[in-house]
Structures are given as C-alpha cells and as structure tokens.
C-alpha cells in the first residue's frame, strides 16, 4: 500500500465512492449498515456469507485499510459485519470475487510462509496487502471498507460521526456566509 496521509486516502476514497455505480439501491445499503450495527453488539450474531476464518482475515484487512488511532477505525465501526450482510444481499454479485480473493490470499500466504494471513505479524500483513493492492479483490475490500466507515450516521455506519470528524466534516443544517475563503474575499471587497 502506498503511504499517503489519512486525509489524502479518504479524499481518494470519496472520489471512488462518488463515481462508483456498485449499487443504485440505497435502501439495501442502509439495511446492511443497520444489520452491521445490530450484529456488532449482539453476542448471538452469525455470519451470513463468511466463515469465521474469512471474517477474521477480512476484519484484519479492513483494520489495516482504516486503522484505529485517535479515532475509530474499521474494526471499531463493525465494517466486517456490514460487508458480510452486504454480500448476502445487495452486493451478491461481488460475493464470488471477494470469497475467491480471501481463499487465494490464504493460499498465497500459506505457500510463502506456512501460516494463515491472520497469524502473520502486522508488518507482514501490510506487506501482503501492498503486494495485492492493484488487484480487483483488494479494490473491492477497500470500497466496502470506505462505504461502511463513512455512511450517514442515520444508516448506522460512521458510529458517533467518527468518520466525519476524521476528515474535518462539520454536519450542520444551516451555513452562513462566508462559506469559504472565496466568500470572505468577496465580502471584504464589497461584493
């Protein structure tokens, strides 16, 4: 994974989200986000698509894509539950690619290191992800990670608006001029 600031990474992610046409059914996405919130807090939650091993690997991947630091990361936001439910519902067309990618990931790691991805040291996990960041499987995981992290809080993602705080987005109903530096300059100039 190329090293960028978190802000640069998020800006890229929003561009991907804005231009993606993965789904036109926003209600289904919202239902997946609500399911993720319930599943994250329920001790009886069961995976709909993923196996325990696949979920563990996917949770590690999403956590490396969007790590926890002074703000919540993908693991804290329950992104893996969102992905699992999405694959069972609105994102079913991406299910096969993602599951095959997880299988190939463990097969490649086992071939090289005689262990599974989840058992690797964090530095080695990052190295593996850097080696696959250009393939569609990784791009799909990154897309789902961002979607699960930065959705509207109304849809139960973006817990406590942590994703928005991370990028400096202020959610307000009313904004008053000056809206930005360009308005401030125009107001000073008498425009």
d(CA 91, CA 77): 19
Domain of 152 in residue numbering reads as: 6-188
* Residue 20 located in a structural domain: yes
Q: How far apart are CA 120 and CA 138, in angstroms?
A: 18
pLDDT at 179 over 90: no
Asked if 109 and 120 touch (Cβ cutoff 8 Å), the reply is yes
**52 vs 190: which has the higher pLDDT:** 52
Kindly state whether residue 120 falls inside one of the protein's structural domains: yes
Q: What's this model's pTM, rounded to 2 decimal places?
A: 0.68
Query: What is the predicted pLDDT for the residue at 182?
Result: 65
Contact predicate 39/81, CB 8 Å: yes
For residue 14, pLDDT over 60 is answered with no
Is 154 part of any domain?
yes
Q: Considering the domain boundaries, does residue 49 fall inside one?
A: yes
* First-last CA distance in the chain: 46
Q: How far is CA 173 from the centre of its chain?
A: 26
Does 116 map to a domain? Answer: yes
Q: Does 107 score more than 80 pLDDT?
A: yes
Number of domains in the chain: 1
Give domain status of residue 1, yes or no. no
CA 143, 149, 153 angle in degrees (round to 5)? 130
DSSP state of 159: G
* pLDDT-based confidence at residue 125 (cuts at 50, 70, 90): very high
Domain for residue 171, yes or no? Answer: yes
pLDDT at 54 > cutoff 80? yes
Reading the block at residue 177, the tokens are 């001029």
Q: How confident is the model at residue 21 (pLDDT cuts 50, 70, 90)?
A: very low
């Amino acid at each position: 994974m190329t090293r960028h600031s978190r802000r640069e990474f998020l800006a890229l992610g929003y561009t991907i989200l804005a231009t993606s046409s993965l789904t036109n059914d926003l209600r289904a996405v919202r239902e997946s986000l609500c399911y993720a919130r319930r599943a994250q807090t329920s001790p009886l939650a069961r995976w709909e698509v993923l196996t325990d091993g696949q979920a563990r690997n996917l949770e590690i991947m999403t956590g490396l894509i969007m790590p926890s630091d002074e703000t919540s990361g993908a693991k804290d936001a329950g992104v893996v539950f969102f992905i699992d439910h999405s694959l069972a519902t609105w994102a079913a067309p991406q299910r096969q690619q993602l599951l095959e990618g997880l299988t190939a990931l463990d097969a490649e790691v086992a071939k090289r290191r005689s262990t599974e991805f989840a058992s690797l040291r964090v530095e080695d996990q990052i190295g593996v992800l850097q080696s696959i960041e250009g393939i569609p499987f990784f791009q799909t995981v990154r897309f789902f990670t961002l979607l699960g992290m930065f959705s509207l809080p109304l849809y139960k993602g973006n817990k406590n608006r942590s994703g928005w705080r991370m990028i400096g987005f202020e959610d307000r109903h009313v904004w008053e001029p000056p809206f930005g530096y360009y308005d401030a300059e125009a107001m000073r100039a008498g425009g």
